[in-house]
């Protein structure tokens, strides 16, 4: 396994655990524009993005291992959220994977944006329902804004900008 794969897996497990710890600790928080979200929403959105990195570097089996590790750590910090989180992450990640895998060869950004949209919707609705949070337009909307705008769109735009900048920077013929 390559080193970037280990880093991606560690980030994945960390984002799952952080999402649950933040939600357990702070519950629902206002995020602006009249929207509300669980405190772990952005970390949960980041988990969708890091899941794609784990699949690319280590494979699908490691995605499932990451969910299991995240569930175990969540059980230590918030037993009450373990079932809701694990079920929601598993369903969301399987939906995300079903979209990401066939689109990956057509471009990383396209695959991430499409799969994270599907994963965010599944994760949001299932988690809120199983964890006993109200399912309202302001909360679902807040969850999706956090997961898709802040945790998916901004990192994808940053990666695409960095790639474009790298291609535009002239290289010295001797590599110095």
Burial class (CB in 10 A: 0-12, 13-18, 19+), 105: exposed
Rounded-to-integer distance, Cα 71 and Cα 120, Å: 18
What band does 103 get if pLDDT is binned at 50, 70 and 90? very high
Q: With CA atoms as reference, report the closest residue to 51 among 80, 8, 85, 109.
A: 8
More confident residue, 11 or 172: 11
What pLDDT is recorded for position 168?
87
Name all domains of the chain by residue range, CATH numbers in brackets: 3-168 (1.10.1760)
Give the single-character DSSP code of 113: H
Share of the chain above pLDDT 70, in %: 96
The model's pLDDT over 40-82, given as tens digits with 9 standing for 90+, comes to 999 998 998 899 899 999 999 999 999 999 999 999 988 889 9
- Residue 129 confidence (pLDDT): 97
Provide the mean pLDDT of the chain: 91
Residue 106 has pLDDT above 80, yes or no: yes
Q: What is the pLDDT of residue 163?
A: 87
Q: Which of 135-139, 145-149, 156-160, 172-176 holds the top average pLDDT?
A: 135-139
| pLDDT at res. 2 | 56
- For residue 8, what are the contacts with CB-CB under 8 A and spacing of at least 6? 50, 53, 54, 56, 57, 58
List, for residues 111-127, the tens digit of each pLDDT value.
999 999 999 999 999 99
Given a cut of 80, whether residue 174 has pLDDT beyond it is: no
pLDDT at residue 1 in the model = 46
pLDDT at 173 over 80: no
């Amino acid at each position: 396994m390559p080193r970037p794969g280990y880093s991606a897996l560690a980030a994945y497990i960390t984002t799952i655990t952080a999402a649950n710890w933040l939600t357990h600790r702070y519950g629902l928080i206002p995020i602006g524009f009249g929207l509300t979200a669980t405190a772990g929403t952005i970390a949960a959105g980041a988990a969708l993005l890091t899941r794609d990195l784990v699949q690319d570097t280590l494979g699908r089996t490691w995605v499932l291992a990451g969910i299991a590790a995240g569930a175990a750590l969540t059980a230590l910090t918030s037993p009450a959220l373990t079932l809701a989180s694990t079920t929601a992450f598993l369903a969301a990640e399987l939906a995300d994977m079903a979209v990401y895998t066939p689109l990956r060869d057509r471009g990383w950004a396209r695959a991430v944006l499409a799969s994270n949209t599907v994963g965010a919707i599944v994760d949001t609705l299932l988690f809120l329902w199983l964890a006993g949070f109200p399912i309202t337009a302001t909360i679902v909307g807040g969850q999706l804004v956090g997961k898709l705008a802040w945790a998916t769109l901004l990192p994808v735009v940053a990666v695409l900008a960095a790639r474009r900048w790298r291609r535009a920077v002239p290289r010295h013929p001797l590599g110095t």
